[in-house]
Amino acid sequence: MVERIADVVVVPDVVGLPFHVGRDIAADAGVTLANPDPDGPPIGALAWPGLYYITSQSPGAGAKAYRWDSVAVEIIAHGEADSSAAWIQPEQPPADAAHAVPEPEYFVHLSGDNDSRG
């Protein structure tokens, strides 16, 4: 990196987020999102109006950058996104999975004796 007066910040992970959410997270971290094509329109103009998801970023999450440096992001319109590139669905447990049930150590009696063992 070239020596500059700006603070060094950590690039956040914005991949998979809606553009408007990623833009706010990036701003809070001290960087700005940008179109990967420097000759193209601003990324905000490409993502408006409508709902767009961020599919990639450069530099990647965790990289060091100077405050207000650009993070190039690729976006895709909602409805066009492959389900693997958009929100990641958590794995669901099998329907026949047993549920843990805690065994109570103490019973609370409303009659006044609140510390009796069960």
Write out pLDDT tens, residues 33-69: 999 999 999 999 999 888 999 999 999 999 999 999 9
What is the rounded distance in angstroms from the CA atom of residue 116 to the CA atom of residue 18? 53
Domain CATH for 42: 3.30.10.20
In a domain, 59, yes or no: yes
| Full domain range(s) for residue 63 | 8-77
In a domain, 1, yes or no: no
What is the rounded distance in angstroms from the CA atom of residue 98 to the CA atom of residue 93? 10
How many domains does one find in the chain?
1
Q: CB atoms < 10 A from the CB of 44, how many?
A: 14
Q: Give the residue, 52 or 99, on which the prediction is more confident.
A: 52
In a domain, 32, yes or no: yes
Confidence of residue 4 (pLDDT cuts 50, 70, 90): confident
In a domain, 96, yes or no: no
In a domain, 117, yes or no: no
Q: What angle (nearest 5°) sits at the alpha carbon of residue 47, between those of residues 42 and 48?
A: 100
In a domain, 16, yes or no: yes
What is the rounded distance in angstroms from the CA atom of residue 2 to the CA atom of residue 7? 12
pLDDT at 92 over 80: no
